[in-house]
A and B are shown apart, each in its own frame.
Chain A
Amino acid sequence: MAKKVGIPRGLFYYQYYPLWKTFFEELGAEIVVSDFTNKQILDSGVKSCVDEACLPVKLFYGHVLNLKDKVDYLFIPRFTSISKGEYICPKFGGLPDMIRHSLKELPEIIDTEVNLRKSKKNAFKAAVDVGNYFSSDRHVIKSAYQKALNSYREFRSNVRKGVLPGDILSKRRGVLNKSSDETVNIAIIGHVYNLYDNYMNMDMIYKLRSMGVNITTIEMLDGKVIDEKNQMLPKKMFWNFGRKAVGGAFHIMEREDIDGIIYLMSFGCGVDSFVCDLIERKVRNTKDIPFTVLTIDEHSGEAGMNTRLEAFIDMIRWRNRNEADVPAYG
C-alpha cells in the first residue's frame, strides 16, 4: 500500500504545492492535503499554539491537527532559506520543532532542511533526503524531482500570465465578476499564505472581485523587474518575501494602470511590520496613490473587513470621478 504523506494546507503550501504534489506522486506516495481552512481548523490551531505567534502559524497548527490521524508522514520541511543569500521568517526554520513540542501523538515528521542560502544546489540535496523516505533509487528520485520542477514551472508561468495562485490551488477559477461599476485595478501585497487562504482573509479576493475589482499580486510580476527595483534600497533586504514585496511595490507604484495598493498583513508578523512600513513610507513620500493596510488576526471581524474594503474602493472611484470632474460621492 502506498505511504500516505500529509501536507498541511498552510504557509508554503501556497507557494510550492504543485512541486510537492508531483514529487510525492512520482515516488508512489499518496498525498493527503488537509481540508480547506475552516472554523474548526482555526479554533484548534489557536488553542494549541503559543498566543504570540502570528495567525498563519496558528492556522498551520490547525492543519496539522486536521491531518495527523489520517497519514503515515507529515511533510513539514524546515525552511531556513529559499534563495541564495536570503532568509525567511525564523518561524519557518523552527516550525518542525514548534510543532513537535506543542502537539502530541503525531506521525513521523519529514523535516528535511531546505537551506539555499549558500547554494541553490542544496534544493536537490533536500529532495534526495525527502525522496529517501520512499525510494532508495537515486535515479527515481532525480526523475521525480525533474518532473516536480516542471510542474512548478508550469504553475509559475500560469501565475505570471495573470492567474491568481489561489485560483489554481482551490480550483476556483472565478475570474472577474461582473459589476455595473467601472473596473478598478488593485495590487495586493502580502504573504501568499495570507492572500490565498480565503477563510483567513474573509474572502477578500472574491469580495473585491464582486465589487468589480481586478487584482494584481507580486507573484504575477517578473523577477527581473523586482530585482531591478530593489536596487533602490540602500541595504539589500535579506528576507525573500521582503525583497519581492519591496521590489514589487516600487514597480507597481510606477504603473499608471494600478488604482490602489492594499497591504494585507497578519498581526504579529515581524517581517510584515518592517516591510509594510518601508513600502508605506515610500508610497506616501513619492506617489499620490491610494494605499491601505488591512491587518488580520483571529479576532478580526468580517464586518470590519467589509467596511474597509468597501470604503477603499469607494474612495478610489470617488477620486477617479473627481479627476473626471463629476461631483459625486461613492
Chain B
Amino acid sequence: MKLTFPHMGNTYITAKTLLDDLDVDYIIPPFNNKKALEIGTKYAPELACLPLKINIGNYIQAYEKGADTVLITGGCGPCRFGYYCEMHRAILKDAGYEMDILTLEMPNQGVKELYRRVKKLAGGFNAYKIIKALKNTAQISKSVDELERLTFQVRPREIKKGSTDKIYKIFLNKALKTNGSEALKKLIKATEDELREVEVDRNFKPLKVGIVGEIYTTIDPFSNFNIQSKLGNMGIEVNRRVTISEWVIDHIIKNALHLPRDRSHIEAAKPYLGTMIGGHAQETIGNTILHAKEGYDGIVQVYPLTCMPEIVAESILPTIEKDFDIPILTLIIDEMTGEAGYVTRIEAFVDLLRKRKERTEHGRDWLLSGN
C-alpha cells in the first residue's frame, strides 16, 4: 500500500508527521498547481466545490508517482465535504484510476470497520505507537500554525520586502524532505529563529484584517491566490482563527473523545446564526464578530463557489458589518477565477480600509487641536 492524501496549504506537514511516526509508506502529491486543478475540473461535476476538484488533481498526480490509496477524513454532513470520499471513489473509478479510498471516520458499519481501517493504515494496532504518533502530530500541527502566525506578524513589518516569503517558502520545501516528528520540530524551531531575526519596523502600526470563510479556501494559498502573503506584503497584518491544528485537535480528536471544545465563536455567533448548519458558517460569523471586537480594521470572507454554509454566512454578514461598523469583503473562488480581477478587489478593499483609518485618525487629531 502506497498512501497519498489531498493538499490543503501546509496540512501535508501534519499528515506526514502522522504517517512518518506510524512508519507508513506514502507519496505527497506535487503542491497544488494549475495542472491539478485542470485535471480535477475535467473529471469532477461542474458545480462541485473547488476543493473537491483540486483533491482529484492531487490524487491523479500522486497516482502517476506510484500512490495507490487515498487517505481522507470523512463526516456526516450537511456540508458536502462529508461525502467527498464517495465522490472521489466514483470519479477516480470512472476516470480509470484504480485507487482505494481510506476514510478516517466512524463508518456506518460501526467500530469494527474503523478498527479495520486504522489497522490497515498503521499496519497493525499498536495502541502505544498510535497514541504517541497522534500526540506528536497534534504538537507539530500546533507549532506549524504558530510559525505561520509569526509570518503574519513579521511580513507587514519587514524592512526588506519579501524576506518573510523567502524564509517561509524554503521552510515549506525543506519540510517535504524532513522525516519524523523530531526532525520537523527542529526545522520549525530553526525557521522560527530565522523569522525573528528579520529586520522589522517596530514603530509601524499595520492595519489588521481577519480572514474568515470556508476552511480549505482560507487555508490553502493556491486556491486563494496567496491572500495572506498578498495582504501582508501590502503592509496588512492578517489573522485567521480557523487553523489546521484547531481543526485536527478540536474537530477530530476532542470531538471523538468528547472533550470540551473552544466555543467562543459559537457564543459570539449565537445572536446571528442560532444553530450549527455544517461547514464553517458558525466560525465565519463568530470569528468575524470576535475580530471586530478585538478592533480589527476589516474582514475578508473567502469561499468556493456554491459552498452552501458560506452562502448562509454571507447573507448574515451585512448585518454584522453594520452592527460592528467593520468593512467586509467577500471573495468567491472557482476554477474560472482570474487573478487580475481578484487582486483589483483586494487592492480596492485595502485602499478603503486605509481611507477609513485616516479619516478616523484625522478626525481625532482635529478634535484634539480644537480643544
Contacts and interface: CB of A to CB of B under 8 A. Distances in A.
Interface of A: 49-50, 52-53, 78, 80, 86-91, 93-94, 96-98, 101-102, 111, 113, 233-239, 242, 267-274, 276-278, 281, 285
Given A80-B277, A235-B85, A91 B47 contact: no
A101 B275 contact: no
A272 B278 CA distance: 17
B134 to A, nearest CB: 24
Interface residues of B, number: 45
B78 A50 contact: no
Interface in B193-221: none
B273 A97 contact: yes
19 contacts: A49-B315, A50-B315, A53-B315, A90-B277, A90-B308, A91-B312, A93-B276, A94-B273, A94-B313, A94-B315, A97-B273, A101-B316, A101-B318, A102-B315, A238-B78, A238-B82, A238-B83, A269-B47, A273-B306
B78 to A, nearest CB: 4
Interface stretch (B30-38, B86-94, B118-126, B354-362): B86-94
Contacts of B78: 87-90, 93, 238-239
A228 B169 CA distance: 52
Contacts of A234: 86, 89
Given A53-B315, A91-B312, A239-B77, A101 B272 contact: yes
A52 B306 CA distance: 7
A283 to B, nearest CB: 12
Interface in B294-353: 305-309, 311-316, 318-319, 332
A298 B346 CA distance: 29
A287 B78 CA distance: 30
A260 to B, nearest CB: 21
B311 A101 contact: no
Interface of B: 45-49, 74, 76-80, 82-83, 85-87, 89-90, 94, 103, 107-108, 272-279, 281, 305-309, 311-316, 318-319, 332
B330 to A, nearest CB: 9
Contact of A277 (B79, B87, B276, B277): B87
Given A267-B47, A274-B45, A113 B316 contact: no
A277 B308 contact: no
Contact of B48 (A50, A102, A113, A277): A277
A235 B83 contact: yes
Contacts of B318: 101-102
Contact of A53 (B89, B94, B311): B311
Nearest to B315: A98
Given A238-B82, A278-B87, A90 B314 contact: no
A255 B277 CA distance: 37
A272 B83 CA distance: 13
Contacts of B85: 235
A276 B77 contact: no
A91 B311 contact: yes
A89 B79 CA distance: 8
B308 A91 contact: yes
Contact of A274 (B87, B307, B309, B315): B87
Nearest to A267: B47
Q: 6 closest A-B pairs (Cβ-Cβ)?
A: A94-B312, A87-B78, A238-B77, A93-B277, A273-B47, A277-B45
Contact of B312 (A88, A90, A269, A272): A90
A247 to B, nearest CB: 15
A97 B277 CA distance: 11
A274 B80 contact: yes
A111 B273 CA distance: 12
A235 B108 contact: yes
A153 to B, nearest CB: 27
Contact of A87 (B48, B77, B315): B77
Contacts of A53: 311, 315
A191 to B, nearest CB: 13
Given A50-B315, A235-B108, A113 B278 contact: no
Contacts of B86: 233-235, 278
A98 B312 contact: yes
A236 B108 contact: yes
Given A78-B275, A90-B279, A238-B76, A281 B94 contact: yes
Nearest to B303: A52
Contacts of A273: 45-49, 80, 306
Contacts of A267: 47
B90 A281 contact: yes
A78 B277 CA distance: 10
Contacts of A86: 77
A242 B76 CA distance: 13
Contacts of A91: 277, 308, 311-312
Contacts of B319: 101
A76 to B, nearest CB: 12
A94 B77 contact: no
Contacts of A87: 76-78, 278
